Amino acid sequence: MSLLIVGSIALDTVKTPVEEHADLLGGSASYAALAASYFSPVRLVGVVGSDFPQAELDFWKSRKVDLEGVQRADGKTFRWSGEYSWDLNTRATRSTDLNVFETFQPTLPESYRQTDFVLLANIAPALQSHVLDQAERPRFIVADTMNLWIETARKDLDALLPRVDLLILNDSEAREMTEETSLIKAGRRIQKMGPRYVAIKKGEHGALLFGEKDEFFSCGAYPLEDIHDPTGAGDTFAGGMAGFLAGTVKTVRFADLRKAMIYGSVLASFCVEAFSLERLRHLTNEEIASRYEMFKLMSQFEVLA
């Protein structure tokens, strides 16, 4: 089944303590779409400016990403720049230039309206809701968000939450949203705000998943020796998770979400191995399967007979 993804498509400038690269393909929808494309066909919704490289659009087409919902506007593509400190975990935003995003109104092409799985990747919650308004009874809706919206668009975010099946956010965002120090309390509080399921990412420490009643799952992150650029790991996690669900599951159960979370973690672990989407572009299904198996082995603690 197809997965509809809306989010940002960007040109990023990223600085780590050892390297800096400008005008790289980035944006929440770009990472999410490429990750998801390893599991299911993708219908992409977003906007690019007249400076956006045609080669990137051609690449997406080669990955079976439907671009009918990507608008080409006069002006510059959305640009974002960030700088990481030595732990490669703390990040400061250096600049955000909305450009064509400023007037962006996502419009679903007729052919997208009936899509069973929807991923609202990180963009303003009002735009995420606007996409849902146009979708015809999707079966499962995943949403991602960020601290900026918790701080500046809380009303819009609160209005979106009851419409979402699974909300994905990171630990600091969950704490900020709920004013809870405990992530367990934070996860349960967020569920009361609307989403049936909540996934809280903890960066290199893995992720937590909250379901109904006592349904709970915790997984680690894949241990990597070399991280080059953490940008987009969260979007890739969301894309991997939603892509796996859309590609393999009819009715989503908690057990499917547990597995989807491992696939999200696997894809995110590849993402950070290179700048931009470079590692994700050249992935093979065998590499994904082999890291998934490693994850299984790593999590096994009972003595096997």
Q: Tell me which residues touch ligand AMP (CB under 6 A).
A: 8, 10, 12, 26-28, 80, 96, 122-123, 148, 231-235
Residue 196 or 235 with smaller CB distance to ligand AMP: 235
Which of left, alpha, beta for 243 (phi over 0: left; psi -120 to 50: alpha)? alpha
Residue 219 or 238 with smaller CB distance to ligand AMP: 238
How far apart are the C-alpha atoms of 217 and 260, rounded to whole Å?
Answer: 12
Residue 31 Cβ vs ligand AMP, minimum distance, rounded to whole Å: 7
Residue 234 Cβ vs ligand AMP, minimum distance, rounded to whole Å: 3
Q: Give me the residues paired with residue 167 across strands.
A: 143, 198
Q: Residue 235's CB: how many other CB atoms inside 10 A?
A: 30
Minimal CB distance residue for ligand AMP: 26
Please choose, from the candidates 58, 63, 48, the residue with its C-alpha nearest in 3D space to the C-alpha of residue 3: 63
Residue 48 Cβ vs ligand AMP, minimum distance, rounded to whole Å: 12
Please choose, from the candidates 4, 13, 62, 55, the residue with its C-alpha nearest in 3D space to the C-alpha of residue 33: 4
Residue 165 or 235 with smaller CB distance to ligand AMP: 235
Q: What is the length of the chain?
A: 305
Which residues have C-beta within 8 Å of that of residue 102, sequence separation ≥ 6? none
- For 128, list phi and psi in degrees, rounded to 5: -60, -45
Residue 80 or 270 with smaller CB distance to ligand AMP: 80
Residue 223 Cβ vs ligand AMP, minimum distance, rounded to whole Å: 20
For residue 126, the SS3 value is helix
Residue 279 Cβ vs ligand AMP, minimum distance, rounded to whole Å: 14
Sign of the torsion angle spanned by Cα atoms 299, 166, 232, 172? negative
Residue 235 Cβ vs ligand AMP, minimum distance, rounded to whole Å: 4
Residue 14 or 186 with smaller CB distance to ligand AMP: 14
Residue 203 or 211 with smaller CB distance to ligand AMP: 203
